[in-house]
Structure 1
Amino acid sequence: MFSVTVRDHIMVAHSFTGEVFGPAQRLHGATFVVDATFRRAELDADNIVVDIGRALEELHAVCGALSYRNLDDEPDFAGVNTSTEFLAKVIADRLADAVTAGRLGAQAAGLSGIAVTLHESHVAWASYERTL
C-alpha cells in the first residue's frame, strides 16, 4: 500500500456536553495539526499516489471552512460534541467528497482510502480512516 500525507491546521472554539468532558464543557479554544493520508494499492500512470498540490489545496479548503469558528454556532454541528475523533471524521468525509467530485484530479479516482489524524498536542491525537 502506498500513501501520501499532507498537513494543515485548524483553530476552533467549542464546548462539550457531558460529565466525561470535565472543564471542557465550558467554551474553549483548540488548535489541531491536521494530517490527511491518501492511500492506494498501486501507483497511478505518473507513479504517484495523488497530486500533492491538489491534496494540499483541498485540505486547506476543508480546514479553512472550520477554522476561526465557534463550532457550537455552526448548524452542521448543532447538538453534537465536536470531539477530536468526530472532527477527524468530518474532515475525512469532506476530503472523500472532494475526491468524488474530481477536485483532486481524475487519477485520484484510484485512491482506496483516506486517513485523517488531528493532533491535539505532542502527546495526544485521534484518527479516522475510511475507504473510498
Structure 2
Amino acid sequence: MMVAHSLRGEVFGPAQQLHGATFVVDATFVADDVDAAGIVVDIGQATEQLKAVLADLTYRNLDDVADTVGLAGVNTTTEVLARLVADRLAEKVHDGLLGRPADELAGIEVTLRESHIAWASYERPL
C-alpha cells in the first residue's frame, strides 16, 4: 500500500510535512483450531478481501480523502492505519467473506511494515 500523508504534532518532526509511505500489509487470522479442511481461513478469499479493504487507501493522499475513508480528525499514523485495516477485515469476516464463520475465529492482527526496522501492528478480537 502506497500513501501520501502528513502528521500533526511536534513529535512527528519532519513527518509533519507531506510525505510518502509504502507499506507491506500482513493480516493474521487467529483461531483456536484449524477447521475440517485444516485451515484457519481461505487464503485466497483473505487475499481478495485484503485487496478490497486497501483499495480506497492505496495511491491516495490520505490528507485529501480522510473524510471519505474513515480517518477524519485523526493522525494517519501507521498504528491508526493498521487499526483501520483490521476493523475493515473484521467486517469482511462478519459478512462471511473469508470462508469461515466469524464465531470460529478469535481475532485479527494487521501489521504495516515500512522496512525491516519500522513497523506497527494492531490486534483485535472478533
TM-score, L = length of structure 1? 0.88
Of all paired residues, the percent bearing the same amino acid is 66
Within the candidate set 59, 68, 72, 2:50 is matched to 59
Q: Give the alignment of 1:39-50 within 5 angstroms.
A: 39-50=30-41
Q: Give the alignment of 1:82-101 within 5 angstroms.
A: 82-101=76-95
Within the candidate set 69, 75, 80, 1:81 is matched to 75
* Distance in 1 separating the partners of 2:102 and 2:39: 10
Deviates more, 1:107-116 or 1:66-75: 107-116
Indicate yes or no: 2:16 matched with 1:25: yes
* Distance in 1 separating the partners of 2:107 and 2:100: 15
Higher strand share: 1
Structure 1 residue runs of 5 or longer lacking an equivalent are 1-9
* Distance in 2 separating the partners of 1:109 and 1:52: 18
Deviations 1:21-60 (A, max 9, x none): 0000011110000100001011112111100100010111
CA contact (8 A) 1:14 1:70 kept: yes
Q: Which residue of 1 aligns with 2:98?
A: 104
Q: Which residue of 1 aligns with 2:121?
A: 127
> CA, structure 1 residues 49+39, in 2 after alignment: closer, same or farther (shift >3 Å)?
same
Letter in 2 for 1:90: L
Within the candidate set 106, 109, 118, 2:112 is matched to 118
Q: Give the length in aligned residue pairs.
A: 123
The list of structure 1 runs, each at least 4 consecutive aligned residues, that deviate by more than 6 angstroms after superposition, is none
TM-score, L = length of structure 2? 0.92
Q: What's the RMSD between the two structures over aligned residues?
A: 1.1
Structure 2 residue runs of 5 or longer lacking an equivalent are none
